[in-house]
Amino acid sequence: MINIIHGDMLDVLRSLPDASVDCVATDPPYGETSLEWDRWPAGWPERLLRVLKPTGSMWVFGSLRMFFDHLPEFVGWQMSHEVIWEKQNGTGFFTDRFRRVHEMAVHFYPSASRWADIYKAPQMTLDARARVIRKKAKPAQWQGERGATVYRSEDGGPRLVRSVIFAPNEHGRALHPTQKPSVLVAPLLRYACPVGGVVLDPFAGSGTTGVVARECGMQAILIEKNAAFVDVIRQRLDDDAPLLRRAAE
Closest CA to 56 of 120, 128, 101, 102: 120
**Sign of the Cα pseudo-torsion (116, 24, 87, 43, in order):** negative
Q: Taking contact as CB under 6 A, which single stretch among the options 87-95, 137-145, 192-200, 203-211 is the one that binds ligand SAM?
A: 203-211
Which of 123, 117, 87 is CA-nearest to residue 102? 87
Residue 176 interacting with ligand SAM (CB under 6 A): yes
Does 215 participate in binding ligand SAM (rule CB under 6 A)? no
CB of 190 to ligand SAM, least distance (A): 17
- Nearest distance in Å: CB 179, ligand SAM: 4
Answer for which of 118, 198, 223, 230 binds ligand SAM (CB under 6 A) is 223
Q: Which residues contact 230 (CB under 8 A, 6 or more apart)?
A: 4, 6, 224
If the CB atoms of residues 29 and 110 are measured against ligand SAM, the closer one turns out to be 29
Stretch of 130-138, 153-161, 173-181, 187-195 lying at the interface with ligand SAM (CB under 6 A):
173-181
Distances (CA, A) of 170 to 96, 124, 144, 156: 25, 25, 12, 31
Footprint of ligand SAM on this chain (CB under 6 A)?
8-9, 27, 29, 37, 41, 176, 178-180, 203, 205-206, 208, 223-226, 229
